[in-house]
Amino acid sequence: MQPELKSPVRVRFAPSPTGYPHLGNIRTALFNWLFARHYGGKFILRIEDTDVARKVEGAVEAILDSLQWLGLDWDEGPYFQSQRLPIYRETGHKLLEEGHAYLCYCSPERLEAMRQEQIKRKQPPKYDRRCRDLAQQEKTRLQATGITPVIRFTTPLEGETTFHDLIRGPVTFKNDTLDDFVLLKSDGYPTYHLASVVDDHMMAISHVLRADEWLSSTPRHVLLYQALNWQPPQFAHLPMILGPDRAKLSKRHGATTVTEYQKQGYLPEAVVNFLALLGWSLDDRTELLSREELIKHFSLERVGKTPAIFNKDKLEWMNGVYLRKLSLGEFVQQALPFLDRELPKSVERPLDKTYVSQVLSLIQERAKTLVEVPQLASFFFLDELQYDTGLLLSGKLDAKSAANAITIASQKLEEVMTWDATALESALRPLAAELNLDTGKFFGLLRVAITGRTAAPPLFQTMAVLGKERCLKRFNAALQLLSTYSN
Ligand code: GLU
């Protein structure tokens, strides 16, 4: 039997709204979602908003939007921990009554001073358990001071806590390395440990799939389950995501919020495919997997133990692949808002849909993200191109022969009746030999005159889309530039 097959499968994504979700956070959501969908289970969304001080405005909305954008639909929730405070308080007090927890009156100042001292002595910061065994008299005295105590867990001083991680196998922590961690804070809010255990139990979570950074919290949770006499869920800690330099993933590696990727014109299908491969693989070859294939094949057995490496270039490449898979109509629909937003105001609106569609048929092959589309396509829309005159001579022609070549090409084009790529090519190709110019250089020159750049979609197709009038106008403008050019 596969260890992960405990039914019914109920998993959760439990983000804290302390910031906008990054790719790493959403990878956790995706793995949970895939696991639920693969086993026909439930995917539950729970917002862990008990850290009032670190709450970020708009973060909850960003979490919901990101999940929706990526099509990670949830079956239950969102539950908000801030709306469930009485449940945690009740459990905290139950633990207190049953002798698994105690009241701690230590002031934040004392705790901070202790922490600093421990850091100075190179010891791991840990509560010194001063309030663990207070004499009744002392308790009464402290109670009378009016200080609101916190509730701390009475962690066993000896022994070990072991659990089976579905990815890493058996994991053991020595209890004396664990702190008497806080369960309920003096503001009445639970800590992550208490709220997480209570909710995972109450919500009948079968599997906890979460990032590796939570591994050291798990023995605490296991001890809490034991104290509460609850059956713990199964745990699976997902491998870390690092940058190509093996440092912790950050903005500098091109990893950012999901919202930002959406703005830059990544397709949700590409992002899902990319994220699925951050720690999971089908085999050692397959890169492109549809959502359905991911659901079909996903299993924890193929989640790696070693860190996954985030590679921005791969994400871009993959997005390009997904962009090219779109029908032209779909591509136009996706790209149009980007063109509309980014093209200069001088370009007449509304954009001509037929023209846009012709232009985009040449751009689709080349764009890796939608945000690149306006940049790649702008020369199709502008009345006048701005480019460095030297670009016309980048094929090492002198200004005079360049001007001559453009003049001859213009004359030839005047005669072209059917303005399509084939006709344009048959008109222009023979000219290179007539002018005694290398074909590459000749077409390179024309490309710059037509597009203002050295790299652009195929020349004749570009000219066909631009139309006769625009092309001739651009040749004229190039001649003007050359006439004022001094070598
Ligand atoms: N609230 C935690 C987070 O922000 C959840 C950790 C867990 O999944 O238990 O990642």
Say if residue 204's pLDDT is above 50.
Answer: yes
State if residue 17 touches ligand 1 by the CB under 6 angstroms criterion: no
Task: Give the separation between CA 114 and CA 112, rounded to whole angstroms.
Answer: 5
State if residue 214 touches ligand 1 by the CB under 6 angstroms criterion: yes
For the residues 241-270, what does the mean pLDDT come to? 91
Say if residue 258's pLDDT is above 90.
Answer: yes
Atom of ligand 1 nearest to the CA of 18: 4
DSSP 8-state secondary structure symbol assigned to residue 349? S
Task: Give the separation between CA 311 and CA 14, rounded to whole angstroms.
Answer: 26
What is residue 3's predicted lDDT score, i.e. its pLDDT?
Answer: 47
| Mean pLDDT score of the chain | 95
Furthest CA-CA distance within the chain: 109
What is residue 485's predicted lDDT score, i.e. its pLDDT?
Answer: 80
Catalytic residue among 94, 248, 251, 400: 251
Say if residue 4's pLDDT is above 50.
Answer: no
pLDDT band at 255 (very low <50, low <70, confident <90, very high): confident
CATH of 86-184, one of 3.40.50.2020, 1.20.1560.10, 3.90.800.10, 3.40.30.10: 3.90.800.10
What is residue 2's predicted lDDT score, i.e. its pLDDT?
Answer: 47
Question: Which of 304, 295, 284 lies closest to 237 in space, CA to CA?
Answer: 304
pLDDT band at 252 (very low <50, low <70, confident <90, very high): confident
* pLDDT tens track for 308-319: 999 999 999 999
For the residues 294-298, what does the mean pLDDT come to? 98
Task: Give the separation between CA 182 and CA 63, rounded to whole angstroms.
Answer: 27
* pLDDT tens track for 93-103: 999 999 999 99
What interhelical angle do 421-434 and 439-451 show, nearest 10?
130
**E-assigned strand segments in 59-105:** 76-80, 101-104
What is residue 226's predicted lDDT score, i.e. its pLDDT?
Answer: 98
What is residue 1's predicted lDDT score, i.e. its pLDDT?
Answer: 36
Ligand 1 pocket test target in 23, 48, 49 with most atoms within 8 Å of CB: 48
Side-chain half-sphere CA neighbours of 291 within 13 A: 14
Say if residue 118's pLDDT is above 50.
Answer: yes
For the residues 54-75, what does the mean pLDDT come to? 97
Domain boundaries 2-79+193-240, corresponding CATH code: 3.40.50.620
Instruction: Quote the percentage of the chain above a pLDDT of 70.
Output: 98
pLDDT band at 6 (very low <50, low <70, confident <90, very high): low
Say if residue 28's pLDDT is above 60.
Answer: yes
Q: In degrees rounded to 5, what are phi and psi of residue 153? A: -80, 140
Task: Give the separation between CA 48 and CA 443, rounded to whole angstroms.
Answer: 61
Say if residue 194's pLDDT is above 50.
Answer: yes
Question: What is the 218 CA–ligand 1 centroid distance (Å)?
Answer: 11
DSSP 8-state secondary structure symbol assigned to residue 152? E
* pLDDT tens track for 327-376: 999 999 999 999 999 999 999 999 999 999 999 999 999 999 999 999 99
State if residue 14 touches ligand 1 by the CB under 6 angstroms criterion: yes
For the residues 455-482, what does the mean pLDDT come to? 97
Contacts of 279 by beta carbon, 8 Å cutoff, 6+ apart: 27, 31, 238, 239, 241, 303, 304, 308
Query: Closest residue (by CA) to atom 10 of ligand 1?
Result: 15
User: Using alpha carbons only, what angle is made at residue 100 by residues 99 and 105, rounded to the nearest 5 degrees?
Assistant: 85
CA distances from 370 to 121, 236, 308, 338 (A): 54, 36, 26, 7
Q: Which CATH class is domain 389-483?
A: mainly alpha
What is residue 5's predicted lDDT score, i.e. its pLDDT?
Answer: 54
The model's pTM: 0.92
* pLDDT tens track for 472-483: 999 999 999 999
Enumerate the domain spans of the chain. Answer: 2-79+193-240, 86-184, 326-380, 389-483
Question: What is the 210 CA–ligand 1 centroid distance (Å)?
Answer: 7
State if residue 48 touches ligand 1 by the CB under 6 angstroms criterion: yes
Q: What's the full length of the chain, in residues?
A: 487
Question: What is the 170 CA–ligand 1 centroid distance (Å)?
Answer: 21
Listed in sequence order, the DSSP H helices in 152-205 are 192-202
For the residues 110-139, what does the mean pLDDT come to? 94
Residue 345 burial (CB count, 10 A)? 6
What is residue 108's predicted lDDT score, i.e. its pLDDT?
Answer: 93
CA distances from 374 to 334, 342, 359, 457 (A): 12, 6, 11, 14
CA distances from 451 to 61, 422, 423, 460 (A): 42, 19, 19, 12
DSSP 8-state secondary structure symbol assigned to residue 20? P
Residue 388 burial (CB count, 10 A)? 11
What is residue 486's predicted lDDT score, i.e. its pLDDT?
Answer: 66
Question: What is the 364 CA–ligand 1 centroid distance (Å)?
Answer: 39
Q: In degrees rounded to 5, what are phi and psi of residue 45? A: -110, 125
* Residue 248: active-site member: no
Contact present, 81 and 195 (Cβ < 8 Å): yes
* pLDDT tens track for 438-453: 999 999 999 999 999 9
Residue 45 burial (CB count, 10 A)? 22
